[in-house]
Amino acid sequence: MVATPRVQRHIQILGTLWCVYGVYRILSGLVGMIFFHAFMHGHFGNWNHGPWGNFGPHGPAWMGLLPVIATFTVLAAATALFAGFSLLRRKPWGRTLAIVLAVLALFKFPFGTALGIYTLWVLAPGPSGLEYDAIADRS
């Protein structure tokens, strides 16, 4: 009985999980931005006053950072989707991209941490590089 190499057994699941994680990041970012906007503009009552101060009609001055945060969220989600598709299409650089993103995802508890650990377990060992090179699409 010949065992299937680890990368070959897990690459489809791993690519799909990275795509799902990218969609999750987009949806959670949108929900967070909508909730935060509604909260800061008094749609949940008068909570934007009191111990936090009176922010005025446009919220606090640091809300100017929201476009930067939104841009970062969209770029992170797009990169996760890109990594997932590159693994599913067996691109030669997909392994490297997934490993870099896995290290960064470790800080996004709990889903990013789990996906990062799984990605590193599948793709980081030395023999995994040889296995991935063997199945990579060089076209």
pLDDT in tens, 18-41: 999 999 999 998 888 888 777 766
Q: What burial class does residue 68 get, using C-beta atoms within 10 Å of its C-beta: 0-12 exposed, 13-18 middle, 19+ buried? A: exposed
Mean pLDDT of 90-119: 96
Helix (H) or strand (E) holding 134: helix 126-135
Mean pLDDT of the chain: 86
Would you state the pLDDT for residue 56?
Answer: 61
How many distinct structural domains can be found in the chain? 1
Mean pLDDT of 12-19: 97
State the residue range of the domain holding 122.
6-47+57-135
Q: Which of 67, 104, 64, 84 is nearest to 23 (CA)?
A: 84
Q: Helix, strand, or coil here: 47?
A: coil
Global pTM value? 0.83
Decide if 1 is inside a domain: no
Decide if 30 is inside a domain: yes
Looking at per-residue pLDDT, the higher value among 49 and 40 belongs to: 40
Give yes or no for a contact between 105 and 113, defined as CB atoms under 8 angstroms apart. Answer: yes
Decide if 39 is inside a domain: yes
Decide if 105 is inside a domain: yes
Would you state the pLDDT for residue 15?
Answer: 97
